[in-house]
């Protein structure tokens, strides 16, 4: 690595870093070097090459820990989320397009802030499918880089994304579910609250009936 940089004084360090991350095989033994410029990078690569460690240099055996992915719930959406990723990474774009084939066209327009879709992400009906589409596309993008989690989970609509990427739900079924969920929640009266109840239907139903 150090000789590669030395022999190519005009090479872009950002390009080198990206290629190492996205285009090289994932080895069991890895080293990470953090540097603010070319000379600092060369100095720190020399440290790693000598089998030592120091500031900005970390090496070790990969795979000692386990990876979990947590998908977020509603509230994290924003207009333009994923737009730059869509334009830069074909894997993200393909995954996003695949999800959107099963969703209302308004969802794509809302995510990218297209004309006529202003304010749609403020609506639960469209915010939840939009988050699902972006989360699945992000998951596929990380997967293309070799990031494969040992566990997946999610909060609220993120649970549906987790269920899909783990194979519990097909994409078509997950899109039907997330669309119905968003539409039904949108139809609720404003000003309500949510509560988690650790009880079965036989306990909850009489209480609900008493309170109308």
CATH code at position 12: 3.30.70.3290
87, part of any domain: yes
Domain that holds residue 17: 2-61
Q: Residue for token digits 């802030």?
A: 113
Average pLDDT over residues 175-203: 89
| CA nearest neighbour of 73 among 156, 162, 171 | 156
Alpha-carbon span 212 to 210, nearest angstrom: 6
3-state SS string over the chain?
CHHHHHHCCCCCHHHHHHHHHHCCCCCCEEEEECCCCHHHHHHHHHHHHCCCCECCEEEEECCCCCCEEEECCCCCCCCCCCHHHHHHCHHHHHHHHHHHCCCCHHHHHHHHCCCCCCCHHHCHHHHHHHHHHHHHHHHHHHHHCCCCCCEEEECCHHHHHHHHHCCCCCHHHHHHHHHHHHHHHHCCCCCCCCCCCCCCHHHHHHHHHHHC
pLDDT digits (tens, 9 = 90+) for 6-22: 778 888 888 888 887 77
pLDDT, position 73:
92
Q: How many domains does the chain have?
A: 2
pTM of the model: 0.65
31 and 90 in a single domain? The answer is: no
18 and 79 in a single domain? The answer is: no
pLDDT, position 22:
78
Average pLDDT over residues 107-111: 91
180 and 137 in a single domain? The answer is: yes
Least confident of 106-115, 139-148, 170-179: 106-115
Mean pLDDT, the chain, as a whole number?
A: 86
44 and 96 in a single domain? The answer is: no
pLDDT digits (tens, 9 = 90+) for 18-41: 887 777 776 767 777 888 888 888
Joined tokens for residue 200:
């079965």
CATH code at position 116: 3.40.366.10
Q: How many CB atoms lie within 10 A of CB 83?
A: 13
76 and 175 in a single domain? The answer is: yes
């Amino acid at each position: 690595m150090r000789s590669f940089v030395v022999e190519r004084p005009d090479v872009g360090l950002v390009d080198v870093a990206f290629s190492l991350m996205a285009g090289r095989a994932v080895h069991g033994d890895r080293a990470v070097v953090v540097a603010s410029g070319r000379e600092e990078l060369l100095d720190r690569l020399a440290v790693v090459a000598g089998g030592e460690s120091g500031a900005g240099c970390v090496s070790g055996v990969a795979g000692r820990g386990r990876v979990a992915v947590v998908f977020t719930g509603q509230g994290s959406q924003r207009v333009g989320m994923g737009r730059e990723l869509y334009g830069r990474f074909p894997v993200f774009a393909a995954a996003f397009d695949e999800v959107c084939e099963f969703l209302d066209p308004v969802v794509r327009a809302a995510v990218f802030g297209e004309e006529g879709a202003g304010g749609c992400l403020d609506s639960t009906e469209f915010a939840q499918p939009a988050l699902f589409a972006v989360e699945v596309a992000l998951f596929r993008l990380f997967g293309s880089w070799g990031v494969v989690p040992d566990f997946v989970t999610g909060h609220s609509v993120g649970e549906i994304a987790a269920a899909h990427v783990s194979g519990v739900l097909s994409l078509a079924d997950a899109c039907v579910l997330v669309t119905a969920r968003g539409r039904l929640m949108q139809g609720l009266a404003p000003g309500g609250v949510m509560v988690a109840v650790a009880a079965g239907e036989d306990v909850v139903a009489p209480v609900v009936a008493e309170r109308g």
